[in-house]
């Protein structure tokens, strides 16, 4: 199954931009996953299992490195056209 996901990360600290950028960087470069970022969120599209694993890994790493944060996710169970 293909999914499209929209993610928004909200670090619970003042210096949040480097944390958000590191999270976005950790999502990029996975074969078979399209990643598009804009001013409000990051969208991913690809095979469901790969997308879910990637989001889980990125969140676990970000929490380990930076501490408390909130990740808001929307998942649509199909491939949507996402453009930057």
Question: For residue 83, is pLDDT > 80?
Answer: no
Count of domains observed in the chain: 1
29 occurs within a structural domain: yes
Question: What gap in Å lies between CA 27 and CA 71, rounded to an integer?
Answer: 13
Residue 47: predicted pLDDT: 97
| Cα atoms found within 13 Å of the Cα of residue 73, Cβ hemisphere only | 16
Residue 48 lies in a domain: yes
Task: Check if the beta carbon of residue 66 is closer than 8 Å to that of residue 13.
Answer: yes
Structure tokens belonging to residue 62: 């970000």
Q: What is the CATH number of the domain that holds 17?
A: 3.30.70.930
- 4 pLDDT tier (thresholds 50, 70, 90): very high
pLDDT digits (tens, 9 = 90+) for 21-51: 999 999 999 999 999 999 999 999 999 999 9
Q: Is residue 72 within 8 Å of 11, Cβ to Cβ? A: no
Residue 83 counted as domain residue: no
Token code pair at residue 22: 């590191």
């Amino acid at each position: 199954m293909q999914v499209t996901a929209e993610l928004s990360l909200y670090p619970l600290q003042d210096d949040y931009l480097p944390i958000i950028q590191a999270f976005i960087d950790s999502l990029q470069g996975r074969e078979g996953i399209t990643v598009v970022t804009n001013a409000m969120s990051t969208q991913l599209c690809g095979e469901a299992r790969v997308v879910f694993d990637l989001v889980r890994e990125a969140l676990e790493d970000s929490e380990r490195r930076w501490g408390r944060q909130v990740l808001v996710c929307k998942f649509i169970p199909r491939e949507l056209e996402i453009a930057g």
